[in-house]
Amino acid sequence: MEENNELRAIISGGGTGGHIFPAVSIANAICQLQPKANILFVGAQGRMEMQRVPAAGYKIKGLPISGFDRTNLLKNIGLPFKLLRSWAMAYRIIRQFKPQVVVGVGGYASYPTLKVASWMNIPTVIQEQNSFAGKANIRLAKKAALCCVAFEGMERFFPADRIMLTGNPVRKEMLETTLTREQAIASQGLDPTKKTVLIVGGSLGARTLNESVLKHLDLIGQSGVQFVWQTGKYYYASIQERLKTMGQPVNLKVMDFISDMGAAYRAADLVISRAGASSVSEFCLIGKPVIMVPSPNVTEDHQTKNAMALVNKEAALIVKDSEAEQQLIDLAIKTVNDDQKLRLLSENVLKLALPDSADIIAREVIRLAKSK
């Protein structure tokens, strides 16, 4: 590819924010390095990428692909036909768009898109966010030009000579907040003299984390620690009703959604969170002590493996989902009051940080496009 020619790339995948955000970050980084780049996204019809990607300024095509339904097996009858249709549509999209490289970030659409690209001898790049690779990416890696990973030891899943340790792109507002802790505390309306625990279960919330709080309101009220609790929009109304009858401690701030997560993280002395790959990468980059409660509702138990990659290096604490309602709040209060423990967790998690991930991946994508 000549320097002045247009770079053409497809980025495929989605399904969750954990897939979509890295995809958009990579696209943004490519466009910064190659302003004339033409990038097309390929997602799954009906999934959140079909709204989020256009909102970020990129075109997207949808495939009629869906995942395997383990709860209602009858719903899987049409899956082979959806896959065949998706392969055919992916072929037409690739033939018309003529990409020089195709990037898969995980999610339903990435498998047929990258599979077809490899059949057509177009270089493919896998961006695996988790510490335990999914079956689709393991299959795709056999023909991939490059496997960008966020954790060490991924030779178990991918050809060793094609692995690059790049980390996961994270939200820029996490790293670019200029607030001091005192300013962040003030912006959240908190008491600067008290230790702060931030509880986040994602934009929709996490039932286990919410129930853990509701079961221990007395303990929170007596703790002398302030809690900021993002319930998630799905649970917020019912939790407000329950708090009216149960009583809300004055040191418990309840929110449905936190728009400025950079400020919320800066204000917190300790975070309680699920263990999605993007969240794990954020904690490493900002050096934040964290107690992880991995979601049991993900394939291959990815989140437990993500969390253990930190726990095994004394860079995070873990509580099983099944034990959280009994143990989580008590452990959080003990940990946030232990300055030595907080310092150790912060120092160790910072050692695992992999900065500039989007730029590193973008440069590799451009290199492969030029080689094509």
Alpha carbons 369 and 8: distance in angstroms, whole number: 8
Residues 346 and 268 sit within 8 Å (Cβ to Cβ): no
Q: What would the pLDDT profile of 223-275 be if each residue is shown by its tens digit?
A: 999 999 999 888 999 999 999 999 999 999 999 988 888 899 999 999 999 99
* SS3 category, 248: coil
HSE-up (13 A, CA, CB side) for residue 82: 17
Q: What would the pLDDT profile of 96-122 be if each residue is shown by its tens digit?
A: 999 999 999 988 899 999 999 999 999
Mean pLDDT of 14-42: 90
Indicate if the pLDDT at residue 1 is higher than 60.
no
Provide the pLDDT confidence category of residue 284 given band limits of 50, 70 and 90.
very high
Q: What would the pLDDT profile of 2-27 be if each residue is shown by its tens digit?
A: 444 689 999 998 877 678 889 999 99
Measured at the alpha carbon of residue 281, what is the angle toward residues 183 and 312, in degrees to the nearest 5? 115
Sheet strand arrangement including 317-318: 252-255, 226-230, 196-200, 270-273, 290-292, 317-318
Indicate if the pLDDT at residue 221 is higher than 60.
yes
> What residue type is 293 in one-letter code?
V
Mean model confidence pLDDT for the chain: 91
Q: What is the pTM of this model?
A: 0.86
Tell me the CA distances in angstroms from 118 to 8, 67, 103, 110, one per residue in order. Answer: 16, 21, 11, 12
Alpha carbons 8 and 130: distance in angstroms, whole number: 27
Mean pLDDT of 154-173: 92
